[in-house]
Amino acid sequence: MNGKMNGKMNGAESLVRTLIAGGVDVCFTNPGTSEMHFVAALDRVPGMRCVLGLFEGVVTGAADGYYRMLARPASTLLHLGPGLANGLANLHNAKKADSGIVNIVGEHATYHIAHDAPLTADIEGVAAPMSHWVKTSRSSRSIAADGALAIEAARQTPGRIATLILPADTAWGPADAIGRALPPAAAAKVGEDAIMAAAAMLRGGERSTLLMGSAALREPCLEWAGRIAAKTGCGILAEGANARLERGAGRVQVERVPYVVDRALSVMRAAGNLVLVGAREPVAFFAYPDKPSLLLPEHARSTKLAGIEEDIEAALQALALALGANNVAPIGVAQLRRPALPTGAITPAAIASMLGAMLPENAIVVDESITTGREFFPETAGAPPHDWINNRGGSIGYGMPVAIGAAIACPDRKVITLEGDGSAMYTLQSLWTMAREGLNVTTLIFANGSYNILRGELSDVGVRNPGPRAVDMLSIRRPDLDWVSLARGMGVEASRANDCRELVKALGAGLRSEGPYLVEVVL
Ligand SMILES: Cc1ncc(C[n+]2csc(CCOP(=O)(O)OP(=O)(O)O)c2C)c(N)n1
């Protein structure tokens, strides 16, 4: 597939072939006129799985979910400035999760831009804040080389957001050859100083904790952390929101830094000094009157063992060796423990028990449960091994799109999406894509009819006695959302659960199904 194509290949085709040659063989799309040649090329070039999303936030979130599972970028196809703009919130979340993505954004033909047609926009300007790399291709003969550069940019450690803008005439004009992306460079090795500083802190006699994030949350890294904890008595903690955490029975168990600032402060006080392993010093999500932004107590110190651009596993291994912990059995390994199935009224605690009792082995849990899920971790810690995915960017509406990408990345695994009803409404078009692609995703909608979290935030920022208008802005009733109808209207089987008996039955139906299923969990 290399070299000249007898002059028959156009720019769009050279780009599609470049993507596939670079291992980017999934494209989440929402195209328009300017991308028609790219769309047409998809039929001429075998090997690209194309998935249509009916809103660009679905498209970009799906690419994020795909990367989180495979550490390999997918591509997106977006329609000019407005199409990209619609996808930005989930690109923001992807960027915060260090997901690599190759965005292809269509643009007017180069000579058409000067006429300020309706869809003309500053695409580079729209792309820049949520991309690490942005380029507009200038000719059909350079688009393949630019595509290879975009792949190289996205495949770095950590992953990067690369946005390649494709003017229509560069898509339909002639191309010569495909581009070859250089293989990704190996992650940098951590220096001896960082290992010695971490070892000194852990041996120093003061309380200390390994704060783990990013690639440190994979099973082998957690195991090294468990060995180090067994030897030194240090704690192990994960960041509050994680791109993907491997947990469950047989794995070293970690708690997360809580969202609520007062609770986070007490956890951090107990943690003492921090060894940062693919994690940053923790900060509060928001500022609140009379509360600190930085969660590390004043007297505590931190030292960085490894950053997200470095080889974290090798660093932990070297640290274990320096501490004489490399042959020690890890501490804190979760035992298999299934809680009893809940009965009676549906409460957050009952949902936690049900998840602990029913999570299938190898499940991928995409958590956008907001307030309902604050206590899900302890009850699910002893479930069979599974992955747990959080929103690292805080822009809600990430969950169902990320579930799409995860399901496409891992077709043999069950995806379980835990969704607040308010969050779910941002990108509910995801259900249609799940139905169309027959994805193995069970979605639980926590239908509390409110932006519940914001009730707490209202008082935490210092608003006393809010009036009826303020309270009304936090309710999503009037009218009530009918999730069963919304799901069925997009081709997804669904049921409503009013008590735990119905809930267990409904989740069971979802888990038995090989396609998408939605449960409206009435709270
Ligand atoms: C894009 C975006 N818009 C608005 C918000 C503010 N916000 C944070 S949580 C939330 C409501 C979440 O409601 P829901 O998903 O129902 O969960 P609950 O709070 O009820 O548990 C809102 C509106 C946000 N984080 N991101």
Q: Using an 8 Å Cβ cutoff, are 81 and 460 in contact?
A: no
Atom of ligand 1 nearest to the CA of 396: 26
Tens digit of each residue's pLDDT (9 = 90 or more) over 393-434? 999 999 999 999 999 999 999 999 999 999 999 999 999 999
Exposed e or buried b for every residue in 133-164, given b needs 16+ CB within 10 A?
Answer: bbbbbeebbbbbbbbbbbbbbbbbbbbbbbbb
Higher pLDDT, 4 or 157: 157
> Across the chain, what does the average pLDDT equal?
96
Helix 500-512 × helix 348-358 angle, to 10°: 40
Alpha-carbon distance of 279 to 307, in angstroms, equals 7
pLDDT digits 0-9 by tens, 94-150: 999 999 999 999 999 999 999 999 999 999 999 999 999 999 999 999 999 999 999
Of 6-10, 215-219, 427-431, the one with minimum mean pLDDT is 6-10
pLDDT, position 8: 82
Which of 453, 512, 510 has the alpha carbon at shortest distance from 487?
Answer: 510
Q: What is the dihedral of CA 452, 453, 454, 459, to 10 degrees?
A: 110
What confidence tier does 1 reach under pLDDT thresholds 50, 70, 90? Answer: very low
- 25, pLDDT greater than 80: yes
Q: Which atom of ligand 1 is nearest to the CA of 448?
A: 20
Residues 191-205: what's their mean pLDDT?
97
Q: Model-level pTM?
A: 0.97
Q: Separation of 75 CA from ligand 1 center, angstroms?
A: 28
Confidence of residue 392 (pLDDT cuts 50, 70, 90): very high
- Give the β-pairing of 26-29 and 49-52: parallel
User: What is the per-residue pLDDT across 449-498, written as a single tens digit (0 to 9) for each?
Assistant: 999 999 989 988 999 889 999 999 999 999 999 999 999 999 999 999 99
The DSSP element (H or E) to which 108 belongs, if any, is none
- Which atom of ligand 1 is nearest to 446's Cα? 16
* Residue 356 pLDDT > 80: yes
Alpha helices in 173-212 (DSSP H): 192-203
pLDDT on residue 494: 98
The tokens for 22 are 């670079």
pLDDT of residue 7: 54
- From 130, 347, 368, 370, mutation site for ligand 1 pocket: most ligand atoms within 8 A of C-beta: 370
Strand partners, 106: 166
Give the start-end residues of each E strand in 369-506.
Answer: 386-389, 415-420, 441-447, 493-497
Check if the beta carbon of residue 316 is closer than 8 Å to that of residue 330.
Answer: no
